Amino acid sequence: MPELPEVEVLRRELEPFLRGKRIVRVEIRDPRFGFPKEAAEGKTIIGVRRLGKYLLFGLAEGGCLALHLGMTGKLLLAKENTPQKHERMDILLSSGEHLLFCDTRRLGKIAFLREEKELSEKLGLDPLSPAYTLENVRALLEGRRRLKDFLLDQRKICGIGNIYASEILFRARLHPERPLSSLSEAEKARLFVAIREVLEEAIEERGTTIRDFRRTLGEEGNFQHLLAVYGKSHCPSCGTPIVRKGIASRSTYCCPR
């Protein structure tokens, strides 16, 4: 699944290109992906923001389109209306280009929101927002919940998925099954720093492409070459075999030492 870094990479590529362009036509290729086209057609895009794993396309006439890429979604820019494999939606822009949404597993979704708070009220702290402070994160680190479960809960901190949860916990030198209440103040501070560091480094490398993620012109990201533990066999620090186990119904990678 595209996580915060991949969605932020798309946002940075799309925002300057889409700003000021009008949505001429929306064609839905898959009825299960449908939404009221009249909410978008004829409207002008004034900017592209990101909240967690969502892209928000602001409209001059009010409201925004909120897009979630699901597990395998891609947003591609094309100069011609050339059908793509697994294409679910085609947005024709006033410049003549097309913004295509392709999704192999059909888990992506799009909705028209009258106000951004319809989404933001359901999500937790965004690690790249001004609200992401040590004080605010420390207030969330309470109870017996496991660290891995906490990091994947979008109501607490939004944008982190399975890949970056493993990388963050390795960077912070914390076991994914540690209960939140067991963390010392120093460990909480390490986790706070590791979350932002790992995500920002992944953005600089244009995201992680394991299988599906592509940038807007079809290029792969590069952070997959810099992963420390996810999908790896041995710890890069001590050489110990990496342990892979199911936590929160997802594969989790960690060094047992």
Q: Does residue 142 belong to any structural domain of this protein?
A: yes
Residue 84 has pLDDT above 90, yes or no: no
| pLDDT (0 to 100) of residue 139 | 98
**100 three-state secondary structure:** strand
Q: What is the DSSP letter of 202?
A: H
Say if residues 40 and 91 touch (Cβ distance below 8 Å). Answer: yes
Q: Does residue 214 belong to any structural domain of this protein?
A: yes
Question: Which letter, b or e, does each residue of 124-139 get, where b requires 16 or more Cβ atoms within 10 Å of its Cβ?
Answer: bbbbbeeebeeeebee
Say if residues 81 and 98 touch (Cβ distance below 8 Å). Answer: yes
Q: Retrieve residue 247's tokens.
A: 């936590």
Residue 196 has pLDDT above 80, yes or no: yes
The whole-chain average pLDDT of the chain stands at 95
Say if residues 18 and 93 touch (Cβ distance below 8 Å). Answer: yes
66 and 22 in one domain?
yes
Q: Does residue 228 belong to any structural domain of this protein?
A: yes
pLDDT tens digit string along 201-219? 999 999 999 988 999 999 9
> What is the CATH classification number for the domain harbouring 245?
1.10.8.50
The residue out of 72, 92, 120 marking a domain boundary is 120
pLDDT tens digit string along 220-233? 999 999 999 999 99
Please report, rounded to a whole number, the percentage of residues in the chain having pLDDT higher than 90. 87
140 and 67 in one domain?
no
pLDDT tens digit string along 3-17? 999 999 999 999 999
Q: Scan for tokens 């079809």, then name that residue.
A: 218
Where in the sequence is the domain holding 92, given as residue range(s)? 4-120
146 and 115 in one domain?
no
∠ CA 117-123-124, nearest 5°, is: 120
- In which element (H, E) is residue 152 found? helix 147-152
102 and 159 in one domain?
no
138 and 114 in one domain?
no
pLDDT tens digit string along 115-148? 999 999 999 999 999 999 999 999 999 999 999 9
Q: Retrieve residue 125's tokens.
A: 């702290």
Q: Which residues pair with 54 in a beta bridge?
A: 51, 68
243 and 145 in one domain?
yes
| pLDDT (0 to 100) of residue 70 | 95
Residue 248 has pLDDT above 90, yes or no: no
Distance between CA atoms of 177 and 38, rounded to whole angstroms?
A: 47
The residue out of 120, 145, 176 marking a domain boundary is 120
Q: Which has the closest alpha carbon to 217: 203, 206, 205?
A: 206
pLDDT tens digit string along 5-51? 999 999 999 999 999 999 999 998 888 776 778 889 999 999 999 99
Q: In what order do the strands lie in the sheet with 23-28?
A: 23-28, 87-93, 98-103, 73-78
Distance between CA atoms of 115 and 143, rounded to whole angstroms?
A: 33
Query: Which sign, positive or negative, has the C-alpha torsion 241, 246, 248, 250?
Result: positive
pLDDT tens digit string along 169-194? 999 999 999 999 999 999 999 999 99
145 and 113 in one domain?
no
| pLDDT (0 to 100) of residue 38 | 87
The catalytic site residues sit at 2-3, 53, 250
Q: Does residue 125 belong to any structural domain of this protein?
A: no
The residue out of 60, 90, 120 marking a domain boundary is 120
Name the pTM for this structure. Answer: 0.95
Residue 82 has pLDDT above 80, yes or no: no
C-beta neighbour count of 9 within 10 angstroms? 25
Q: Scan for tokens 């965004």, then name that residue.
A: 126
140 and 114 in one domain?
no
> What is the CATH classification number for the domain harbouring 92?
3.20.190.10
